Amino acid sequence: MTSLSSLVETLVVKATEKNLIQSSDKIYARNQILGLLEANYEEKVSLIDQDIPDLLEDLADEAVKKGLIEGLLDEREQLTAKIMDVFMSKPSEVNETFYQKYQESPETATNYFYQLSEDSNYIQTKRIANNIQFKTNSNYGDLDITINLSKPEKDPEQIKREKEMKQDAAYPKCLLCAENEGYVGRIGHPARSNHRIIEVPLEGEEWFLQYSPYVYYHEHCIVFAKEHRPMQITRDSFARLTAFVEKFPHYFVGSNADLPIVGGSILSHDHFQGGRYTFAMTNAEEEFTFNLDRFSEVEATVVKWPLSVIRLRHRNRETLIDAADYILQRWREYSDPGADVLAYSNDTPHNTITPIARKRGEQFELDLVLRNNRTTAEHPMGLFHPPHEDVHHIKKENIGLIEVMGLAVLPPRLKDELADIKKYLLGEPVSVADYHDDWVKLIKDKHTTITEKNADKIIEDELGQKFARVLEDAGVYKTDADGRNAFKRFLSHLNE
């Protein structure tokens, strides 16, 4: 049986190997961790072959045995985050190192910070590895599919404790606030003792950079305002997005829309998401160009994509910002009843934009995805949300920034459900969830030969086609002739 001291000693050695601490820090780090675990040190220890996430799990198990914690998920994470904080430099030192490396290159700086976020177990690499991920072809390019299995399920006792606790704590105000840095956590609010953020001023305002604890793609980062304020898409949004990619030209950055249904899961705090990844939408073909009379020097195109995307390019950032803001203002007030586009219901606004910025060589590029969140009696979840029930069996949640660009984040239930579908397609006796019935019958009718060798690929491809349909539903202007004619009416409106 592995002793607690061996677990601690191995963790200290691993942290040293990853340059979280220096060799001269080992005794200090060991004693700090022993103090957290209320343990004595045994002189006879043996190093074990485990990575940091597994060592932390074992140390949390030891703390449960000793009665230091009850073993609830939040309690375990509070303890393991405190343990890893022993190896972490202070925020000021992390920022100083980041900007020293930024002098070499922006890429060197983000490489350092991303590696630190992984090594410190802030990015949950072990849990992320549980996700099912693959690419599948569509008419719009290779879409990314992720079945999200990384976030652990809360046990009944944890849920009970959360309900019993008074949820009147207002610090930090939300999960994105800067005040999460170093916060020890509480039941219902995640531990952030080992969390660090980087100061990245944008347009004279205090903003910060961090990575997502559950990254959905490479170097999935979050850029957020210091001020806790609701998300809002304005000219300032375009200015900050382009300012960010000017500082970090190897990253893209984008914002969820600022209205319910078409917005992301957190609208209470102004923030962006970015990273070092090329989505299908980034590489999508440009369907046709058009002229912006007021900004004739700006290159403007419509992208061949299931959602309605205007792509703008120009070397001058200010010119591009002005053009994007002009389109936003015209779109906010635009109605076309023949295309089901209404700007308002009474005083409730419906039109907004999901913007994405990147650098291509010397040019700045802005994708403006037109969004509308109107609901109807027939489609109460949103007329330009996935409104058709035949796609709800794979996804009916918000279509936010990540999905807009071509990455499906699908619910964990699909892991077992797809396994059952595979068995059914192979002729094995199994019960398939009722809401998949029509889909499964279509797959079986479409593919005359389904074998153990090709079943997985068939299911993945069909799932990709369903996700493409989800994105088509979310498009304000459809990709058929009527939809493109309606899109062109809006483009003509820009020049009136």
Segment 200-220, tens digit of pLDDT: 999 999 999 999 999 999 999
pLDDT tens profile 371-400: 999 998 888 888 898 757 778 888 877 789
Task: Let me know: does 369 contact 356? Beta carbons within 8 Å.
Answer: yes
pLDDT at 448 over 90: no
Q: How is residue 53 written in tokens?
A: 């996430």
Please list the residues that pair with 222 across neighbouring strands. Answer: 210, 273
Look up the pTM and report it. Answer: 0.94
> Residue 156 has what pLDDT?
60
Task: Let me know if 204 is exposed, middle or buried by CB neighbors in 10 A (0-12, 13-18, 19+).
Answer: exposed
The per-residue pLDDT for 304 is 97
Residue 5 has pLDDT above 70, yes or no: yes
pLDDT in tens, 130-179: 999 999 999 999 999 999 998 766 556 655 665 566 566 689 999 999 99
Q: What is the pLDDT of residues 25-73, one digit of tens each?
A: 999 999 999 999 999 998 788 999 999 999 999 999 999 999 999 888 8
- In angstroms, rounded to a whole number, what is the distance separating the alpha carbons of residues 426 and 421? 9
CA distances in angstroms from 486 to 78, 162, 257, 476, listed in the order given:
53, 49, 22, 10
Q: Is pLDDT of 296 > 80?
A: yes
High-pLDDT (> 70) share of the chain, %: 96
The full set of domains in the chain, from first to last, is 1-68 (no CATH), 126-407+477-494 (3.30.428)
C-alpha–C-alpha distance, residues 323 and 335, integer Å: 20
Cβ pair 195, 170 in contact under 8 A: no
Name the band, by pLDDT with cuts 50, 70 and 90, for residue 334: very high
**Which letter does DSSP use for residue 46 in this model?**
-
What is the predicted pLDDT for the residue at 159? 58
What's the CA angle centered on 451, arms 447 and 452, to 5 degrees?
140
Round the average pLDDT of the chain to a whole number and report it: 93
CB 24 within 8 A of CB 2: no
Q: What is the largest CA-CA distance in the chain?
A: 82
Supply the DSSP string of 318-386, one letter for each residue.
HHHHHHHHHHHHHHHT--BGGGTB-SEETTEE-EEEEEEEEEETTEEEEEEEEEE----SS-TT-TTSS
DSSP secondary structure string for all residues of 114-140:
HHHHHHTTSS-HHHHTTSEEEEEEETT
Provide the CA 248 distance to its chain's centre, in angstroms.
18
Specify the residue for token string 């006879």.
44
Instruction: List residues bridging with 368 in a β-sheet.
Output: 310, 355
- The DSSP 8-state label assigned to residue 196 in this structure reads -
User: Which helix or strand (DSSP H or E) is residue 311 part of?
Assistant: strand 309-314
Tokens of 256: 């969820």
User: Would you place residue 408 in the very low, low, confident or very high pLDDT band (cuts 50, 70, 90)?
Assistant: very high
Determine the pLDDT at residue 167.
60
pLDDT at 187: 86
Read off the tokens for 276: 């070092």
The pLDDT-based confidence of 188 (bands split at 50, 70, 90) is confident
Q: What per-residue confidence (pLDDT) applies to 348?
A: 95
Tokens at 238, concatenated: 């375009």
Integer Cα distance of 387 and 365 in angstroms? 31
Instruction: Name the nearest CA neighbour of 33 among 54, 60, 51.
Output: 60
Q: How far apart are the first and last CA of the chain?
A: 78
Q: Classify each residue of 414-448 as buried b or exposed e, where b means 16 or more C-beta atoms within 10 Å of its C-beta.
A: beebbebbbebbeeeeeebeeebeebbeebeeebe
The per-residue pLDDT for 247 is 98
Rounded Cα gap, residues 478 and 472, in angstroms: 7
Q: Average pLDDT in the 399-427 region?
A: 93
Nearest to 466 by CA among 484, 442, 432: 442
Residue carrying structure tokens 């803001």: 325
CB-count exposure of residue 324 (10 Å: 0-12, 13-18, 19+):
buried
Count CB-CB contacts under 10 A for residue 322.
Answer: 17
- What number is the average pLDDT over the span 462-486? 94
The length of the chain in residues reads 496
**What's the CA gap between 315 and 302, in Å, rounded?**
19
The H-assigned helical ranges of 86-234 are 91-104, 106-119, 125-128, 156-164
Give me the phi and psi of 287, to 5 degrees please: -70, -45
Q: What is the mean pLDDT of residues 233-260?
A: 97
Q: Up-side HSE of residue 312: CA atoms within 13 Å toward CB?
A: 29
**Confidence class for position 311, pLDDT limits 50, 70, 90:** very high
